[in-house]
């Protein structure tokens, strides 16, 4: 059954084209129609507390693991009250017949212990219930008591990766703009959180407007646009200390929409001189500034391909806002968007095979994806205002911001599978916009 699930995920990555199910010898093949799938049933008994006082930690970790997996839409947890077996010893043999009886296809068992210094250790095993075998080797992770949720995310990452064959994303963080106050006087602060909205920390004080934060490839720095001087300038912030400095561009010149190169050594952004807005690159080590576009149109929202060889950006050079791709060093650009409406905020997927974007058409905003040549455009969402897509590590999930209509309207973060399935809100303490998904920690 797990092999069938893996076949299902391969089909999903191929744009969810229907896959016929036929009776034949060999692995079972599951029919996928318009992205509708049956989530894989799994069970997570409460992890065993192996030392006194570890019971609450064991409960929390097992619940976070379950929530991570269930939140993908690819897995369905067997409720605990349906369990026949109880796991009280991590090393005891698994009663596979009991788990088959409740239709669990995967089983996660674990144990948690603590020591006198406050260190927490979690270990786990993943089982294929119907085959009666262990999937991979058991593993353990350790952290201090402040890192308990990270331990759970690490366990869930391992389970997800083993069951899907894909890069996980649970042990990652998102930087975003936290919003409070009325629409006409909104306070905006940079904030950082776990991928699921937990552990929010604020990086700026809200004394000036901040926009469009973007993580560095290693997650140690954040680029963002600040209005501290009264007009937009790009700043770079060290996440560990929350200290920041202005990017060295000409005083009095507007700069905005920054992104890092894949190696983290170069920043690309838009810079406005007079009435002209073009894309520039800045080498951080030398301070060398290089102009990459030279046109009377507005060129903005640039982003590198994962290999650093190309840049996608938006431009109105054709008369309307469209997407273009050019070599990383500048040069001739090729238009890739040709559908109805206007396109913006493009961002390359980590796999390098797709570009996510915001589309405005017929009074609605959409988050969409297309191949890097512009083919196979697919709209994933629709609302009054959806914008600012960002990819999870591995490229299966996209997070974006959505704003509701009217004077009392507010912004919130949402995520959606690249297939258009499993749209869900990311819970934050207040309004939120402009997310940027960081790397696995």
Residue-wise pLDDT for 263-274, tens only, equals 999 999 999 988
pLDDT at 262: 98
Indicate whether 10 pLDDT > 80.
no
Convert the pLDDT of each residue in 401-431 to its tens digit: 999 988 778 999 999 999 999 999 999 999 9
Convert the pLDDT of each residue in 27-51 to its tens digit: 222 233 345 478 999 999 999 999 9
pLDDT at 183: 79
Indicate whether 83 pLDDT > 80.
yes
User: Residue 383 to residues 151, 359, 376, 407, 439: CA-CA distances in angstroms?
Assistant: 36, 11, 21, 16, 28
- Residue 162's φ and ψ, nearest 5 degrees, are -70, -35
DSSP string, 381-424: --BS-EEEEEEPTTSSEEEEEEE-SSTT--EEEEEEETTS---E
Indicate whether 1 pLDDT > 50.
no
**CB 257, CB 311: distance < 8 Å:** no
Indicate whether 322 pLDDT > 90.
yes
Indicate whether 17 pLDDT > 50.
no
**CB 166, CB 396: distance < 8 Å:** yes
pLDDT at 16: 38
pLDDT at 93: 95
- Tell me how crowded residue 17 is: count the other CB atoms within 10 A of its CB: 10
Residues in a beta bridge with 403: 411
Q: What is the percentage of the chain residues whose pLDDT exceeds 90?
A: 83
Indicate whether 2 pLDDT > 90.
no
| Average pLDDT value for residue range 116-143 | 94
pLDDT at 354: 98
CA-wise closest residue to 425 among 412, 435, 410: 412
- Residue 62's φ and ψ, nearest 5 degrees, are -65, -35
Convert the pLDDT of each residue in 49-58 to its tens digit: 999 999 999 9
When pLDDT is cut at 50, 70 and 90, the band that residue 118 belongs to is confident
**pLDDT greater at residue 290 or residue 116:** 290
Torsion of CA 284, 289, 293, 294, to 10 degrees: 170
**pLDDT greater at residue 185 or residue 211:** 211
Indicate whether 278 pLDDT > 80.
yes
| Average pLDDT value for residue range 247-275 | 90
């Amino acid at each position: 059954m797990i092999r069938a699930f893996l076949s299902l995920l391969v089909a999903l990555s191929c744009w969810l084209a229907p896959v016929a199910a036929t009776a034949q010898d060999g692995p079972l093949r599951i029919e996928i129609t318009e992205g509708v799938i049956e989530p894989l049933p799994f069970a997570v008994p409460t992890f065993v507390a192996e030392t006194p006082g570890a019971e609450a930690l064991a409960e929390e970790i097992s619940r976070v693991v379950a929530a991570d997996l269930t939140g993908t839409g690819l897995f369905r947890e067997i409720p605990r009250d349906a369990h026949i077996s109880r796991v009280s010893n991590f090393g005891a043999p698994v009663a596979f017949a009991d788990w088959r009886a409740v239709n669990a296809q995967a089983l996660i068992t674990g144990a948690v212990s603590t020591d006198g210094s406050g260190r927490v250790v979690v270990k786990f095993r993943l089982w294929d219930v119907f085959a009666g075998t262990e999937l991979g080797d058991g593993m353990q992770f350790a952290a201090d008591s402040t890192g308990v949720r990270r331990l759970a995310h690490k366990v869930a990452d391992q389970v997800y990766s083993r069951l899907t064959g894909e890069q996980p994303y649970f042990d990652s963080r998102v930087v975003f703009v936290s919003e409070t106050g009325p629409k006409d006087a909104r306070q905006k602060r940079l904030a950082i959180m776990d991928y699921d909205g937990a552990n929010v920390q604020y990086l700026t004080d809200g004394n000036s407007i901040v926009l469009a934060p973007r993580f560095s490839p290693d997650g140690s720095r954040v680029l963002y646009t600040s209005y501290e001087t009264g007009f937009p300038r790009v700043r770079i912030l060290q996440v560990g200390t929350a200290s920041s400095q202005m990017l060295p561009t000409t005083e009095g010149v507007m700069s905005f929409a920054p992104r890092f190169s894949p190696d983290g050594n170069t920043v690309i952004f838009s810079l406005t001189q007079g009435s002209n807005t073009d894309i520039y690159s800045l080498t951080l080590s030398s301070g060398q500034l290089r102009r990459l576009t030279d046109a009377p149109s507005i060129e903005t929202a640039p982003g590198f391909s994962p290999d650093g060889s190309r840049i996608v950006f938006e431009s109105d050079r054709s008369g309307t806002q469209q997407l273009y791709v050019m070599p990383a060093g500048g040069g001739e650009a090729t238009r890739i968007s040709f559908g109805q409406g206007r396109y913006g905020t493009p961002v390359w997927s980590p796999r390098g095979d797709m570009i996510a974007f915001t589309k405005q058409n017929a009074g609605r905003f959409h988050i969409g994806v297309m191949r890097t040549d512009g083919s196979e455009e697919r709209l994933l969402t629709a609302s009054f205002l959806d914008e600012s897509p960002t990819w999870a590590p591995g490229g299966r999930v996209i997070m974006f911001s959505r704003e509701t209509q009217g004077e009392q309207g507010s912004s919130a973060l949402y995520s959606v599978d690249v297939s258009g399935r499993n749209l869900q809100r990311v819970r934050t303490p207040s309004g939120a916009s402009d997310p940027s998904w960081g790397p696995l920690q």
